Amino acid sequence: MIYLTNDTLDQAVYFELRGREPRKTGNGIEQLYFGLLGNGVHEVAVTLKSMRGCVEVVFGRSELFCFVEEDALRKMLGEMVTGETMH
């Protein structure tokens, strides 16, 4: 579990990595990461796709985003993947 920030109610917002999978594409290898993003009350499934320094963050709707900015979380998750802090 990786702590990211606190929400507006001062609850910790975390990312829990559930799996990692390399996938071959026509241009190289894409890394897929699967996990949960949450604050202890609300959780949402997350898929991160990383290839050649670019990261796509995909998650559904959640009440979590009433308490923390979606764009800020996308940026934090992208930096986490490109900074290779996920093991």
**In the chain, where the domains are located:** 2-82
Question: What per-residue confidence (pLDDT) applies to 16?
Answer: 95
* pLDDT of 80 above 60: yes
Q: Locate the DSSP E strands across the chain.
A: 2-6, 12-25, 28-38, 43-51, 54-59
Beta strand 54-59 pairing with 12-25: unpaired
CA atoms within 13 A on the CB side of 19: 7
| pLDDT category of residue 26 using cuts at 50, 70 and 90 | confident
Average pLDDT rounded to a whole number, residues 69-80: 92
Question: What per-residue confidence (pLDDT) applies to 86?
Answer: 53
* Token code pair at residue 62: 């959640």
